[in-house]
Structure 1
Amino acid sequence: MDEIVENALACTAEDIHEILSDLARKDRLLSTIDRRWEKSDREYYVRRDIQLIVWPIVFHQIQEEISQLDSYQKAEKLILSDAKIKDQLNTVVGTEEFFSHQVTFEGVMRKTLIPFLGENSLLEFDYEIALSQIRSIARDFEADYITVEEIAPLFGFRAEAESLQLDDDLTIEKLKPKEISILLNSGIHLSIQSPHSDIVLVVYEFGIVRRKRYKKQIGPRSFPVTRNTETKISWEELIITSLQLFKAGTVSSAGKIVNYTGLFKSSYLLQHTSSRPNVNSEYNLKNGEEGRAIDLWRRLNLVSINLPNFLVVALSRYSQSVLKSAYEDKIIDLMIAAEAIFLQSESDVNGELNYRLSHRAALFLEQDPNKQREIYRFFKSAYSMRSKIVHGSTLEIKKGQMSLNECVDLLNRYISYSIEKIVDLMRQQKNTKFKVDWDNITFPSR
């Protein structure tokens, strides 16, 4: 976009701003009352009534007057003389993966005025700010890609570091107050307090943020979109599961919003919310732990495309167990994970499953015979507990026997280690249809 077009757009923006200023002087800017979450001066968030100008309706009311401006008509002709911009006006532009949006010259002018449209007042016009906004719009037209930002807030998660860089386009970071307000206004629960309260004192401020570039598509998108690289676990679930495997503590997804930045669609879209879990203990990632946590995620991410079903089940059940409150529920989930790992792809279901699971777990997890014996006995006992729970039998813990708490702690340790070991075996074998060779583990070649 050359300087002549830039100045024509800026002059048009100034003329439109004058029309808006006249409405403001006459107190004719339509407004409404909305309830919004905002951060208070005391560091907590409050929900209060706020008066907001309804800018889309205001522009709709004055669009005919705007379109009759000489500067508007001149600027429209100039911008249409740019071939690259002309091809993207009055047609659908977007990405295959997310959205399509029609951009008009009317929309370009409204976007130019965004810096001056306050929530409850019209801000003073500044020519240089208008030019800066116009150049940003020009870059969006000229780019071959569109940036999409996805935010998955983490419930229960805290970290001493402000940001953890997982990949080029993927971070876990402390969200800005404005982003947290948007999440709360979207109905996403970020506090352990009741969502019906108008004040929250404790807010979980961290989220997974993915900023990704997608190839721009001009014209209607084709359906359906197919990808050969889809994983059986979503990218945000994979990160959360990696955190859960790394250390104890309650961490889960609170939902997800998508932020479409730039000219072609500038808005936050709520994709989903999650129910608020019970926080048994907060997840605190301390300084010095980030590297090992990120390494675990990277190892799991490398094999995520080829995850076998048994490992998907094990990861899912392990993750679910973290969010359960009752030890009995945790044991059931963790033992299902154990069965998925150690009884994977079993065609013979008539054998003694307790023995087979315990024997395989012992051989898989340890080399030392004494430690193998301990693991074997533990899983026999854990399997017995699981059977009594699911069949409604009375579960009596006698003096000197393993408590439910101890059982859960050991199961967490053994299952997480087993999953990590399988992930490393998958990386070594690079087999798209991986399964553990139990015969070789039971009868190793010398």
Structure 2
Amino acid sequence: MSRTETLTIDELGARGDGVAKSGDGQVFVPYTLAGETVTVIADGRRAALLSVRTPSPDRVEPVCRHFETCGGCALQHMGPDAYRTWKAGLLDRALGARGLDTSVIRQAHFCEPRTRRRAVFSAILTEKGVLLGFQQAASNTVVDIEECHVIAPEIDAARPALKAVLEPLLPAGRTVHATVNLTLSGLDVAVEGKIAPDDRQKRAAADIVRAEGLARLTVNGEIVLAPKRPLVAFDDVMVSPPPGAFLQAVPEMETVMADLVTGHMAKSKRVADLYAGCGTFALRLAKSSTVHAVEGDGPALAALDRGFRDNSDRKLKPVTVERRDLARRPMTAHELRVFDGVVFDPPRAGAEAQAREIAASTVRRVAAISCNPETLARDLAILIQAGFTLKSVTPVDQFIWTPHLEAVALLERRTGRKRHWSDM
């Protein structure tokens, strides 16, 4: 049963919610800060904020009118200095919980507002037209946004055009998702959902694509119209990503991560790039190393391979590709014997099984990239127990005002006998 309470926020949890103590134990209160006294409606361990009775000196006015409504940002109410301290602390906390050396954590890199080149919108057709925005937290309600301080201005300004493109495609009342990637050629729009537009609807959408100058429109993987070939640059290597492709969120932060990875691998002759995507790291590494790129997503891998072949004038070293589900079938220690460097950039669940194979291999250098400090710490602990030294971990915040944090960890194997993971 819900109840009204006055609570004091003790700290921020890992998801950015305030944590308070009540008679029933811990309570998590979104949009609050440590030290604040707040009035809430509590229901079990979750609470909705009613008012802030004693605000923290770190509290600021949110920059966006949709904050607390659209379900995107969690921390716009937190001043920039406090936000950066808390965000970098997520990595320190995760490594410390595993008993890892936190002194190797380097200064964090932070992105600026309005720099995200990739957005996944929700859209629904109503009597009032298309609503385009994000889904309210813990809800299926689509919030029709009028501004966004996270995404790049080119995407934000295109919202009316995106609504116009979607309107002829959507049946009333059915929510779809539209992934919009900002490429060098323009906006690449990939619509996914339980819809099956007919030829007339597709022609109507295609006319708007032409009029608005979009690069490409696809619906459930089928190209409706592609007036321009979408292109992204991995350093100076051009790649055409597949529809809805995963790209690092902020180009500047991608460069930071890539510089760390390529610098660490500079002395490696043969590198395995695991969870390689479209080639974010592989095609940069190929400037000095032979690379074997492994990825489970077929279209992404094909884009990487084509990017390598299309850039023969860049004098890249050989790049081979392999489609493989690394979560189910990681590269084995035996397969890794021909590589002296490994890069892996898995999803949020991490790469526990793959880390154990790397630990049992003869690989000398490892670069681990992760958007989840907890699973990164777990995977690092496996490698360190096997004889690797953690040289550095660099926090990279390309998810502004959220609790998500990227990090790049660089490791080298200590000399001496390696330990098999089964001995641990």
Question: TM over 0.5: same fold?
Answer: no
Higher CA-based Rg: 1
TM-score by length of 1: 0.22
More strand as a share of residues: 2
